[in-house]
Amino acid sequence: MTDTRRDFNTVASSWDEEPRRVQLAERVSAAILEAIPLDSHMDVLDFGCGTGLLTLALQPFVRTITGVDSSQGMLDVLNGKIASQCLSHVQTRHVDMDAGDVLTGPYHLVVSSMTLHHVQDTAKLLKTLHEILVPGGCIGIADLDTDGGKFHSDNTGVFHFGFERERLRDIFIGAGFENVHDRTAATLRKPVEGSGEQTFSVFLMTGYRARS
């Protein structure tokens, strides 16, 4: 594992060139649409939105969606897409909580894909995401099942080698979420140095903030 953060600015302009990433975001989006009833009254936050692969897949179904990321380079790519597609209900916000920025709400839904393993203190983040939800609001987090550190060719900025679902479920519940469920959102094959192609799986864990 790591004690330094990854610099996503350096990979932002080429991020979408990897078909595996685009396909994974499509599958995570499909899993979210299957698991969570989205509607046109919803304000949504995509935490760690990157270049907006998930943000843009979900935008047709909701009132507003805000992509939050700590990398301005990633947000610049998403801002370019928002401008070229004239999407006035899609916004971005640069938030770096390690630098003291505060995440504010309220949102009806928080989603996130492939970002949690880059966050050191997952319990603290999940508490914050719980706080910014409206009562009855929902969360849907997609990330790697335990991968033994093999998914990334460079583990800089990888604070978790995937997650054990049972442990993460306890962290969700500890953060205040109810009705916590998980499902497999995607499986993907990826070459691993010295081991040929390996299969990795990505879960979607959902939960709700209590109504009162």
Ligand X SMILES: C[S@@+](CC[C@H](N)C(=O)[O-])C[C@H]1O[C@@H](n2cnc3c(N)ncnc32)[C@H](O)[C@@H]1O
User: Which lies closer to ligand X via its Cβ, residue 42 or residue 74?
Assistant: 74
Give me the least distance between CB of 110 and ligand X, in Å please.
Answer: 12
CA distances from 46 to 17, 105, 152, 178 (A): 21, 12, 22, 20
CB within 8 A of 3, min separation 6: which ones?
none
User: Which lies closer to ligand X via its Cβ, residue 101 or residue 164?
Assistant: 101
Q: Which residue is nearest to ligand X (CB)?
A: 50
Give me the least distance between CB of 88 and ligand X, in Å please.
Answer: 22
CA atoms of 151 and 189, how far apart (whole Å): 10
CA atoms of 179 and 181, how far apart (whole Å): 6
User: Which lies closer to ligand X via its Cβ, residue 17 or residue 197?
Assistant: 17
Residue 148's region, left for phi above 0, alpha for psi from -120 to 50, else beta, is: left
Residues that bind ligand X (CB under 6 A): 8, 21, 25, 48-50, 53-54, 69-71, 74, 97, 113-115, 118-119
User: Which lies closer to ligand X via its Cβ, residue 69 or residue 147?
Assistant: 69
User: Which lies closer to ligand X via its Cβ, residue 89 or residue 94?
Assistant: 94
Give me the least distance between CB of 184 and ligand X, in Å please.
Answer: 16
CA atoms of 11 and 171, how far apart (whole Å): 31
Tokens linked to 11: 């990979």
Task: Please provide the DSSP assignment of 161-210 as one string.
Answer: SSB-HHHHHHHHHHTT-EEEEEEEEEEEEEEETTTEEEEEEEEEEEEE--
Tokens linked to 139: 């969360």
User: Which lies closer to ligand X via its Cβ, residue 99 or residue 166?
Assistant: 99
Give me the least distance between CB of 25 and ligand X, in Å please.
Answer: 5
Give me the least distance between CB of 212 and ligand X, in Å please.
Answer: 30
Is residue 109 within 8 Å of residue 139, measured between CB atoms? yes
Give me the least distance between CB of 70 and ligand X, in Å please.
Answer: 4
